[in-house]
Chain A
Amino acid sequence: MTQPVTPAAPEGSVAPDRSGALSTSSRGTRVLGALSLVGLVVLVLFSFAFSKPDAELGESIRIMYVHVSTVTAAYCLMLASAGFSIFAMWKRSQFADLAAHSTAEVATLLLGLTVVVGAIWGRMTWGVFWTWDARLTSTAILFLMYVGYLAVRSLPAGFRARSVRSGVVNLLAAAMIPVVRESVNWWASLHQNETALTLDPSISGLQYFTLMLSMVVFAVLAVWMVVHRFRVAWLEDQLSEVGLDAAIEARRKEAVGVVS
């Protein structure tokens, strides 16, 4: 019988809590979590109570506060993930490899949310959930690319092989981001052009403030999720290594028992 094993905690990030169980929480993440929660409540108030319907978009502008923020956070995380992948392949860094995974996973979640929320907005505005528009189609393709990346991450492999394999997929997916972003300019598109993050934003006043607030809130929420996901990924890696060592030790003991 092998004894249950406890993975070693990485420095300062995954510490045992009061009951002795390993936790992915720390003072920093608790602050981030609390900020996210308060921010979401304030955002709901601004989106539904304080902010007025738009002259053109009507009530559907409230969906934009989520849609624009989630896709912006997703793009930032995807670019960060590509950077981490390059660093992981270059320096053989396990930290960067796990950071690439964590950021990409949260980015995929946010991009999926963007597509769903966008489809609901499309139904309200265009009368259909989906139209074969360049921006919509390229975003769906980008989402599938990151699903593929996560599938490659899930293949059983050592750290180095996993890092290189998934890094290649990650870089190819990241190369698609400029295409998605510029698709509204390159092709005739139903999708709106840049609304907020330009020198001359097309919204103003409380709507603009609510959108900016939403971006900050979703950025904090994304960071909070990434930190937790990173710590879970680190623990998974540690556990698999400790599990392998324990299995080897158990086989050795069995072999000694047979010989003696």
Chain B
Amino acid sequence: MIRDALVIAGKDLRLEARSKVAVSQVLPFVLAVVLLFGFALDGESQVLQRVASGLFWATVLFAAVLVVQRSAAVERADGVTDALRMTALHPGGIFLGKVVSLLAQLLVVDVTLGLAMVVLYDVALSGVLLLTTCALLGSVAVAAAGALYGPLVAGARHRDTLLPLLMLPVLAPVLLAGARGFEIALGRGVGGGWQWAGMLGIVAGVYLALGIAVWGPLLEDT
């Protein structure tokens, strides 16, 4: 299963590297969101620093919708789903491969967004280990949900509006736990930050387990 996952992840990442959509469209979108929030909140650095944690995760979710939509559309348009159906690859491995591919793209988004907030909002980095853990676990949860929902709506007529409707509510726990974990890491919240990291881990584990369990029927019957 792991070998199959690496094969699929390599294929998806090669596709993205050649198309450069993530670099040329998603990253500029992320920077635009950071700038727009700055304008919307009157550029007051104290306000921006206070809300940076929530803005970070909200932006990651919006960017994830774009990444997932793009990834699923490419597969559907080229008939890759049908080809995958006929391979002997393990369905769970295919799902994990998709998760790894989406995760790699989301981590690029995370780093770019984090740097943009440090530079533009003057956010002082602290609690780097907790920040990194939360970002990693939260991104795994987002990638797992995206890998599950992307193919599910890829063939639908109204997929562009349906995907956010499905993904964003499901990822609300990630937004909540990620934002709280970041706040505590940045010294703006109270309580134990690792509890929130633990919650992100549980959410990621649930979505990964569910994805591995249902990916086979999903690939077979949709």
Contacts and interface: CB of A to CB of B under 8 A. Distances in A.
Report if A and B associate in a common complex. Answer: yes
A179 interface: yes
Binding site secondary structure of chain B: helix
Interface in A146-162: 147-148, 151-152, 155-157, 160-161
Nearest to A149: B166
Contacts of B153: 152, 155
Contact of A141 (B148, B166, B172, B218): B172
A164 B169 contact: no
B157 A156 contact: yes
Interface of A: 89, 137-138, 141-142, 144-145, 147-148, 151-152, 155-157, 160-161, 163-165, 167-169, 171-173, 175-176, 179
B156 interface: yes
B169 A144 contact: yes
A136 to B, nearest CB: 13
A161 B210 contact: no
Nearest to B171: A141
B89 interface: no
Interface residues of B, number: 24
Contacts of A151: 162, 165-166
B165 A161 contact: no
Contacts of B165: 144, 147-148, 151
Contacts of A163: 221
A165 B152 contact: yes
A248 to B, nearest CB: 22
Given A141-B172, A152-B153, A172-B210, A164 B217 contact: yes
Contact of B148 (A142, A144, A168): A168
B170 A168 contact: no
Contacts of B172: 137-138, 141
B166 A89 contact: no
A89 B214 CA distance: 9
Given A141-B169, A141-B172, A171-B214, A160 B221 contact: yes
B173 A89 contact: no
A164 B217 CA distance: 7
Contacts of A168: 148, 152, 210, 214, 218
Given A164-B218, A165-B218, A168-B148, A155 B156 contact: yes
Contacts of A173: 170
Given A155-B156, A160-B221, A145 B214 contact: no
A257 to B, nearest CB: 33
